[in-house]
Structures are given as structure tokens and as C-alpha cells.
Chains A and B, each alone.
Chain A
Amino acid sequence: MIEIKNIEKSFGGVKILKGISTVFETGKTNLIIGQSGSGKTVLLKSLLGIHTPESGKICFDGRVYSELEQDEKRELRTEIGMVFQGSALFDSMTVAENVGFPLRMFTNDNSAKIQERVDQVLKRVDLVDAHNKLPSQISGGMQKRVAIARAIVNRPKYLFCDEPNSGLDPNTAILIDNLIKEITEEYDITTVINTHDMNSVMEIGENILFLKDGLKAWQGTKEEIFKTDNQDVVDFVYSSNLFRKVREAYLKE
């Protein structure tokens, strides 16, 4: 579980996060949604320790990040898996080397054991024939799956995904969403996903945090998002005709 208490963050005198408090639960897919500039990425990067909030606390299962020693912070980071928007695969390494990277860095496992685990996770993300390919030789969807494999290879407690299905076709996007949801349940991890994609919200949104102008404007489940009368959420989520009709149909049932 990740608990955020009243965090604030500014850049160049402009306050981006204005005191956000929430809880991201274990075993659930927690989604952060909101318009561009609402503070989603800054919130995610604050959770990852890339940005340091000016005030407030971030607790990882009771461990307050800002109160940890440098070594403890690095130790905690080894419990984190991250899927970047652009996948952020190391382009000089093959798929198998990318996936095995956290194991080579942080475990004393021998090559055979690392290879076995790499095979296992690549099979889990349905990529059995890509071991020796370079990231530039595979499609965007495959790169995302490699990024997911790399993020889970070390059996993390926390999984963060920054727009995991941006730039993907609708079919592949749904596959990636479902893969993340299945992995969250299978590994019983705390997953936080930053997304713009309303399909993702409807598919896998078990705990949805809606940000507006650096503040928490709404929080609920994908079922509750159909019924909400919060005008900001309605304007954002149901901005397309398709989703408005889906909502109307849902409410009629």
C-alpha cells in the first residue's frame, strides 16, 4: 500500500501539486487521470523519488520515503518496477539483457538462474521469440511488453506505469491493460498507472484518482465513475460522444 499525505511540489514558483492525499491499495490497479498539466506526471515522479516534494509524506507500507537514509531509499527502489511511457529500454542491450538487467544488478544469481527467470517472465508477457532482438527491431507493443517484463522480473512490491498504452493500437492497448491487471493480481502488488486513456479507465480502473489543477478532484472505482455527478469528472471522462452514450446506457440499466 502506498499512502500519500498532503504532498506539495512547485517548479519555478508555480505550484503543480497543491496538497494531495490519497491511498493506493495493494492488489489493485490504481489509476491517476486528469487533463494535461493537472500534475499526474509530477505526482508519479514524486512517488518514484525522481522529484522531491516540498512538503507532505509518501509512505510505502509504513516506510516514509523522505525519512529513509540514502541506502534505504536505494533498497526501496529495488522493490519498484516502472514502465515508462516510451518504454525506456536500454537500446544497446537485447530484449533478454534488458529484462535480466535488474537481476544482474541486484542479485547474486548465476547466469543460468537469471536466464531461467528471464525466460519465465518473457513467456508471461507472451514474448518467447524475441530474446536476442534489439529494442529497435521490435514493435511498440512488444517494447511495452518487454518493459513490463523488466519491471516485474525482480518480483517488485510496487509497479508504476506512465501511460503504458500511449501510441498503441486499440487491440494492443487492451492487451497491455489486461496484462498489467493480471500481473497486479498474480503478484499481489500495488500498481499505479498514469493514463489519459478512457478505455483503460473503463477496463481496469479499480481505484481512480482524478486530478485537476494539482488537487484531488475525485476518487472512486470504474463503477462509481459512471454514476458520479462531479462535473469536472463528467466533462473530462465523457468528453467524447461514444463515452457519453456508454454512460447513458449504463445508467439506464
Chain B
Amino acid sequence: MLQAVFNKQTKWSVMKKLIFKEIDDLIISSLGIVAFISFFVGGVVAIQTALNLTNPLIPKYLIGFATRQSVILEFAPTFISVIMAGKMGSFITSSIGTMRVTEQIDALEVMGVNSLNYLVFPKIIALLLYPFLIGIAMFLGVLGGWMAGVYGGFTSSAEFINGAQADFIPFHIAYAFIKTLIFAMLLATIPSFHGYYMKGGALEVGKASTVAFVWTSVSIILFNYILTQLLLGS
């Protein structure tokens, strides 16, 4: 499938519009839900950490430290990607699957259009902007932690910021974005595969969306483990 996606390119003037449309459908339309989830989960991480710091010898700045580490290393890249496997993945599978069921893909092929390139390539290019979404999730997650920690009375602003800056390893950001790019490819290709090669009618479109979500999530979790072992484990 991937070979066909990159073969026989659609005219650039047409492809350009498709890419912008996919950026709108996949990235821009996800901003709201990503911002909402990141902000509140960041807040919950800060509160949970604060509530578990019962020993008075443990410094309060650990709340900021734990929030930063949790959000940047795992929550933003992995947890958001699993959520996006549901949102983007089901959108991709159902839109391509519906095109299959209603013979729109056959129509493209009969016209001489490379349907895999026309449908999947713009999604792959659009999802190259996925790290931008995860960057926002990282920022809002830490911001949510700061607000919950400070305005909830669990820590002071100075302590939280001190913790959020403590022992910062820049490679952790690189690690998070490398993971994000791999997850972006999984998010673009696995749901597309399940939509493109589905057979049947409306019921099967729903089933294909569910199967695509399961496989994309499983792949993200597996790749997360492998990448963490490769990049941080040695």
C-alpha cells in the first residue's frame, strides 16, 4: 500500500488543496479537544502528585517536576496519540470506507487517478504537523498543572516553576517529538489501510473504524515501549 501511496503523484495544484483540507480536518479541528484534555489532565497530575506527597521532608517543587516529566514524556505524546487514534483514526477510516462503499474510490480508479496517493498521501503530509499539536499539549498540560497546583493551594508558583525547571534534560523533548512523528505515521496509515481495503456496507464501515482504532492504539503502545527502550533505555 505504501509504495502505491508514493507512486504516480496527483497534480500539485490539486494535491496542495487536499493537503490544506487535511490539515484543517485532522490538525486544526483537533486543537480544541487536545487543549481541553491536556489542560485538565495536567491539573489532575499536579493534584495527584501533591496529595501523595505526605512526607514533609519531600520538597513541594516535586509537584512541578513530576507534572513536567509526566506531561512531556508520556501524557502529551502517547496519551494524546491514543485519543487521536479514536478521533482522527475513526474519521480517516470512516471517510475512506464510505468512499469505498459508495464506489467513489472505483470512480477515481476508473478515471485513471492513483486513489491511494490521492487519499492517503495528503493525510501523511498533514500529519507531519502533528508534533505542533503535541507541543501545544505539552505547554497546556504543564500550565494546567501550575494553575491546579497554585490556585488549589497545593504549592506556590515559585516552587512549581522551580520544579518544572529542575534537572531538565533537553533530549527528553527530542525523544517526545521523535515518538510523536512515528505515532503520526501510524495515525495516518493504519486507519487509511482499514478504510481503503474494507468490504461491505455501512455496518462494515463502523466495524472497520473500531478495528482501526484498536490496531492504531495497540501499535502506538507497542512503538512507545520499543522507542522508549531504544532512546532512553540504553
Give the interface of A toward B (CB within 8 A): 48-50, 74-78, 80, 82, 84-86, 88-91, 101-102, 104-106, 160
Contact = CB atoms under 8 A, between A and B. Distances in A.
B110 interface: yes
B110 A85 contact: no
Given A85-B103, A88-B104, A80 B14 contact: no
Interface string B107-131: 1011111100000000000000000
Given A74-B8, A88-B102, A105-B11, A50 B112 contact: no
B3 interface: no
B21 to A, nearest CB: 8
A101 B104 CA distance: 12
Nearest to A75: B112
A6 B103 CA distance: 28
Contact of A50 (B10, B106, B113): B106
21 contacts: A49-B109, A74-B8, A76-B112, A77-B110, A78-B111, A78-B112, A82-B111, A84-B103, A85-B103, A86-B102, A86-B103, A88-B106, A88-B107, A90-B104, A90-B107, A104-B11, A104-B14, A105-B10, A105-B112, A105-B113, A106-B111
Contact of A104 (B13, B110, B112, B114): B13
Given A78-B111, A90-B107, A104-B13, 9 more contacts: A74-B114, A76-B112, A80-B112, A82-B110, A88-B102, A91-B98, A91-B104, A104-B11, A106-B112
Nearest to B114: A74
Contacts of B109: 49-50, 77
Q: Please indicate which of the listed interface residues B8, B104, B111, B114 has the most CB atoms of chain A within 10 Å of its own CB.
A: B111
A105 B8 contact: no
A55 to B, nearest CB: 23
B14 A105 contact: yes
A160 to B, nearest CB: 8
A89 to B, nearest CB: 8
A106 B10 CA distance: 9
Contacts of B10: 105
Contacts of B114: 74
The residue in A75, A84, A160 that gathers the most chain B C-beta atoms within 10 A of its C-beta is A84
A248 B172 CA distance: 86
Nearest to A76: B112
Nearest to A78: B112
A78 B114 CA distance: 12
A49 B110 contact: yes
Contacts of A80: 110-112
Contacts of B11: 104-105
B190 to A, nearest CB: 22
Contacts of B112: 74-78, 80, 105-106
A49 B113 CA distance: 13
Nearest to A154: B111
- Which 7 pairs show the lowest CB-CB distances between chains A and B? A77-B112, A88-B103, A88-B107, A74-B112, A82-B110, A78-B112, A84-B103
A213 to B, nearest CB: 25
Contacts of A101: 111
Nearest to B101: A86
Nearest to B13: A104
A121 B111 CA distance: 17
Interface in B11-68: 11, 13-14
Given A104-B13, A104-B14, A77 B111 contact: yes
A48 B110 CA distance: 6
Interface in B141-173: none
A48 B98 CA distance: 21
Nearest to A48: B110
Nearest to B111: A102
A91 B103 CA distance: 11
